[in-house]
Structure formats: C-alpha cells, structure tokens
Amino acid sequence: MSKQPTEIKSMSSFKRLANGSVTTPRGFRAAGVTAGFKRSGAPDFAMLVSDVPANFAGAFTSCTFAAAPVQVCRKRVLFCDTIRAAVINSGNANACTGDTGISNAEATCVLAANKLGINSNEVVVSSTGRIGTQLPMDTVKKGIELAVASLSEEGGELAAQAIMTTDTVPKSIAVELELDGVVCSIGAMTKGAGMIDPSLKVPHATMLCYITTDVKISNALLSDMIEENVAQSFNRITIDGDMSTNDTVIAMANGLSGVEIRPDTPQAATFREALLAVMQQLAREMVMDGEGVTKFVHVEVFNARSTEDAKLCAESVANSLLCKTAWFGGDPNWGRVVAALGYSGAKFKPEKVDVFYDGVPVVREGGDAGTPESDLVDIVRKREFTVSVDLHDGDESYWVWTNDISYEYVKINADYHT
C-alpha cells in the first residue's frame, strides 16, 4: 500500500512549535481586524508584512474564472523580484467582477503600499467570500488603516482568524529547523472549509495559504518547492469537489536568518521536507474542518497501470456524493465505492479489484469479501478511516484526503451569504 503522511508533531530534522504562526519567522508582522465586510461583525481583514523585501513564489487556481486578486498576484509572480506585504479580505471574493474588480484589486495594493511606505508592486492581494460582488472600497480603506495600525510580531493568529469564512477554527502552524548551525523557521496560515478541490498551478482552495520563512532562497528554487509540495498536499484534498475562483498559495522568504538555501544541497532537502510537512498539516486541517464534516477519510489506490489511473480512481471515490453520504451515515456500502471506480474512466480489470476499510477486506476479486457487515460498520463510524483499493494491474499509486457530506453541509451552503 502507498504510505500516506500523518499529522506532524516533530521529526528529526525539525519540530512543530506551540502557538506557531506566520509571524514566527524573523521579520514578519501581521494583523487581523474587523473592517466591515461581514454582516456578522467578525474579523474580516488581514495583513502580513515583511520588514525587508522578501523573495516569493505563488500557486493559483486553474479555474478559468480566476478572481481579480488571483490575476493581480499572477502578474507579481511573473514580473516582480520581491514583495513586502500581503493584504487579504474575507467576505467578498472580488471574482467575476470584470475590469472594475481588477482595478479595485490593484487599488487595494496602492492603498496598502501608501500606508506602509513601499511600492505597490511589492503588495499581493487575496479575497475570499461571495462571488460576483464588487469590493466596497471604503471598507477596504478602513481595513488597511486598522491593519497597518495593528501590525505586530504577535499578530499571526489574529490574521488567521480574519481570513476565515465558513471555517470553524483558525489554522496556523510553525516549525523550527536548524540549518548550518542556525535555527530557522517556517510559518503558515490557511483557510478553507468548503468549495475545496484545488488544482493549483505555478504560476498561473476557496483555499488561501500564506507561508513565511526567514531563510534566503531564490524565487526559482522556492517556486520549484512550492509546485512539488502543492502536488503532495493541497492538490490531494477534496471536500466537495468544487474548485474555487480564488485558490492561492503565497510563500515569502526574507532571508533574515542569514541562512541561504542552494539547490541540490542537504540544507535544501531538509528545508523542502519541513515545508512539505507544514503544507500537508494545513491541508489535513482543512479537511478536518470541512463544512459539516464528521469523518476524515483517506482514499488510496495502488497497483494501478499508471499514476493517472490511480488518481482517477481515488478522486472518483473521494468526490462521490453517494460514498460521502454513506460514510456520514456509518454505512459500509462498498457497492458505492466500486461503482465510483467503475465510472472513473481508469483502465483496470474489475475481476481483480480488492477493497479494504482500514485493512479489513471488503471486496475480493470484484465481489463481496465475506467480512461481517457489523465489523465494517464499526470502521466507517470512526472519526477517521482509510479506504484502500488494490487494482492488481500495475505498480502505480495515488492517495487523496476527503470527508463525508452531512446535513450540516447542505444547511451551510443553502444559507450561505457572508
């Protein structure tokens, strides 16, 4: 079976820090404030600032209806060498808003830059919330003024709270690692609980992720690492099969530790491993906090003819509404799993297929494995379990993290209006 990553506590090369956030690395400040985007009055505007110019990389949604802030950020990645700040609002996606939306996104960067005393090209911007509504620029101005006044080295957790929409908890992390005898760190925050099935490309969830580090690393190498690690983290999760117009990952590296990461070195390998652990942990937390989620489900497919066949099978099961509702009900109905495999488009021989729940045989050679249903019920009623599929048709594998679909998911999305 393919080995899936697990929740990180610490590894030999790095350790997770208690209460870590995007402001754990040297030289980063952040703020989270209430500007007035949300009718609820909850925090809805965040700012993240590096004290010095930071190298950076980004990955963005592949949705054709990419939001205005995504389009602005893509230009920054392609044409700018460094950035200093990120501005994020929740409660309005600024998506499908035409030329006015682009102008408002750029104007947000200008307003923030003027307050911070930097160039507008050093600012990236993100939005999350309702699609098709123009940004209220008076609210943006208020948010910028409040955020700049509130910037703090302790502001990472407040920023993580301010970018939430239907999330129930903020999601932050930081890890510490030693490179060349110097203690360095990576911090990150993310949001995303629904409309999650990212297909992020570099450069080109809603999920938003901001990563900070105090190492020095070139834009090209950082971009390579983000692209590789996105494929093993955020692009491996699906909550509801819907890709957002606003999915964004931005990584900033300001070099204030004095440690430089060069390609093909042990330091680069260690940093890449720690970065992947951070991204996988946040991806996991996003699924665990999915809208109305009661189950976390690992879906893995192995011994496929090709990676693409394994991926088709895994994603088909992970996105199946019939599978998801069965999991919610604690129903081990394996017929829904094999049906999803069958319509996935993957090439395999059904008479060879085995399916397991937490290693317990459910299907053998395409038919009932004979395991008592009561045993299977005990498995699928757990908070977390694994569905494994052995195609017995090759050597390739693929895994996905997903969840169930509950009554609460329908209620949240039927009533949703930030």
Q: Give the pairing type, strands 248-253 and 45-61.
A: antiparallel
Which one, of 396, 400, 402, lies nearest residue 302 by Cα?
396
Q: How far apart are CA 210 and CA 24, in angstroms?
A: 13
Q: Identity (one letter) of the amino acid at 32?
A: G
DSSP string of 109-138?
A: HHHHHHHHTS-GGGEEEEEES-TT----HH
55 among the known binding-site residues?
no
Torsions phi, psi for 260 (to 5 deg): -105, 135
Secondary structure class of 304 (helix, strand, coil)? strand
238 is in an annotated binding site: no
- CA gap 313, 414 in Å, rounded: 29
373 is in an annotated binding site: no
Element (H, E) at 387: strand 384-390
Closest by CA to 212, choosing from 50, 8, 407, is: 50
Residue 239: count of CB within 10 angstroms of its CB: 28
User: What's phi and psi for 377, nearest 5 deg?
Assistant: -60, -40
Using the CB atoms, write b or e for 69-90: b if 16+ within 10 Å: bbebbbebbeebebbbbbbbbb
418 belongs to an annotated ligand binding site: yes
Please tell me the distance from the alpha carbon of residue 110 to that of residue 95, in angstroms, as a whole number: 19
| Beta carbons of 69 and 96 less than 8 angstroms apart | no
The encoded tokens of residue 158 equal 């407040």
- Which DSSP category does 2 fall into? P
- 229 closest CA partner among 192, 298, 284, 279: 279
Closest CA to 189 of 42, 372, 48: 48
Active site residues: 206
Q: Is 61 annotated as a binding residue?
A: no
> Is residue 82 annotated as involved in ligand binding?
no
352's tokens: 């060879």
Q: What distance in Å separates the CA atoms of residue 126 and residue 208, rounded to the nearest whole number?
A: 8
Residue numbers in the known binding site for substrate are 165, 191, 206, 291, 413, 418
Binding residues: 165, 191, 206, 291, 413, 418
